[in-house]
Amino acid sequence: MTIKRIKKKHVGWIAGLAVCSLVFVSMGFDGFLNSFSQWPPRSQDIHVCGIGAWGRLWYEPSSIEIPPDRIQFQNFTVKKTQWYVAGGSSAGLMESLQSCGLTPEQIRDLASTMSPAPDGTGRILTPPGEWIVSLSDPIRRKLYGMLAKYAPNDMCAWPFRFSGDSPDDWLKKGTMDPEVMDLVKSLIYHEGKSQMFSDLNFVLECYPSVGVYSNLFTVLSRQSTLVARVRVLPEDDVDTLARYWGVPHREAEVRTLMKTLQGTDDCRDVPVSMLLPGFARDRIYRYWHEGDPEFASCHYTAMNFLNERADGQFTNLTHVAQVLANDYVEVKQDFKLGDVILLMKNASEAIHSCNYVAGGIVFTHNGGSFTQPWMLTTLDAVVDFYSYPDAVQVKVMRRRDLMDTTPDNVQLSFRPPPPQ
């Protein structure tokens, strides 16, 4: 056990040194030294979070994609695109489709494919391929948003998503054939700052091969993330930094690291990944961890964030709700490392949880399957991600033993994680 822990710590230090080495190669010796003595950092790709109790925080945008060995091929099948709609009058369905912006001709063509659903109450729509391709971005967004309200339409409810200005940002460096790439681009739609894609089944109908599936899934599962660092200068108060990043019991460890950095003349940027508690530090930028259950949900992640080792009881959503009610209190401002951020569907139901890190940055696991990495992103990006198809409210909770005051507790319930 001791050897394993030492190796993990060495990996973190080596990663930090590698960052410095890359900067040195690209900037030269003088530029390298000067770059770490100035604030704020100067680059068009750098986002400065400002100075707070967390220190001088900045980040660069990046992306993460699933390793090939995590993609499962054994159950590869081509499924026809079908959408479920609840029972009701035909007139009501036509009115809903019309509200999405569909033309009378499009509504007629789609309605002609309608058949009874296996449950005996709903109906199944089977859109032709050319009909799917013909949809404009705004109509696709509204239609898929309506379909997302029905549980069987999981690809509409939980589409592939990526934050970026254009499909090229999402699909670049992929190995898809040009004709597959063009089809995928034509099917991407937008919601807020997110690009979305729900038509995997249709593309695989057109190109039914494991190779296309592998390339397509790898690219579409790519997610926007960021790499954050804290710059430590000689004049900075290491005690303040240690109190912030050392929560709950790591102040001495963080203080030693910060003082060591202050004693150097060059690499004074410490990756935030090195400053996280053990649970998060061992998982960041990974898709799987040997110490976790098969399905490690966002709630399991958020409640274990401040732990050094995972507590398996947090796989039970009832237990999560009980602990939040008894051991946590709501905070309205001055958020701190490890605060649990709940995205609320309503006053009592949380559909996602993540953890505050610093300067508007959060640690999140968007789902619990092997397709979802642990990563850093901004709170705004997470809220945007989960505000589809309906807006969410933010509630922030802090462990009671880390509070100076103890407000009344809050009763919460949790939605089961999405299928992946």
**Residues 294-319 pLDDT 10s:** 889 999 999 999 999 999 999 999 99
pLDDT given for residue 265 in this prediction? 75
Share of the chain above pLDDT 90, in %: 63
Distance CA 15, CA 29 (A): 20
Task: Retrieve residue 84's tokens.
Answer: 């479920």
Distance CA 54, CA 76 (A): 46
CB 46 within 8 A of CB 213: no
pLDDT given for residue 38 in this prediction? 62
Distance CA 87, CA 85 (A): 7
- Greatest alpha-carbon pair distance for the chain in Å reads 74
Contacts of 140 (CB under 8 A, 6+ apart): 187, 189
Tell me the residue type at 157: A
Q: Which domains does the chain have, with CATH numbers?
A: 1-61+228-275 (no CATH), 69-221 (no CATH), 286-420 (3.90.1720)
Distance CA 383, CA 377 (A): 11
Q: What is the pTM of this model?
A: 0.81
Contacts of 45 (CB under 8 A, 6+ apart): 60, 61
DSSP structure string for 368-415:
SSTT--EEEEEHHHHHHHH-SSS--EEEEEEEGGG-SS-PPP---EEP
114, with CB counted inside 10 A (0-12, 13-18, 19+), is middle
C-alpha triplet 339, 368, 198: angle, nearest 5°:
115
pLDDT given for residue 37 in this prediction? 53
Going by their DSSP bridges, the two strands 328-331 and 269-271 should be labelled as unpaired
Tell me the residue type at 16: G
pLDDT given for residue 368 in this prediction? 81
Tell me the residue type at 44: Q
C-alpha distances (whole Å) from 242 to each of 185, 263, 277 are: 47, 16, 13
Q: What is the DSSP letter of 348?
A: S
Q: Kindly report the backbone phi and psi dihedral angles of residue 144, in degrees, each rounded to the nearest multiple of 5, phi listed first.
A: -70, -30
Taking the chain, what is the end-to-end CA distance rounded to the nearest angstrom? Answer: 33
Task: Retrieve residue 368's tokens.
Answer: 């619990």
Residues of the chain with pLDDT under 70: 1-40, 42-44, 73-75, 266-267, 404-420
CB 308 within 8 A of CB 278: yes
Distance CA 128, CA 115 (A): 14
Contacts of 317 (CB under 8 A, 6+ apart): 299, 413, 414, 416
User: Which ranges constitute the DSSP H helices of 87-177?
Assistant: 90-99, 104-111, 129-134, 137-147, 154-157, 167-171
Distance CA 414, CA 361 (A): 23
- Which helix (H) or strand (E) covers residue 303, if one does? helix 298-304
What dihedral angle (degrees, nearest 10) is formed by the CA atoms of 138, 140, 145, 149?
160
For tokens 């198809």, the residue is: 389
Distance CA 90, CA 36 (A): 66
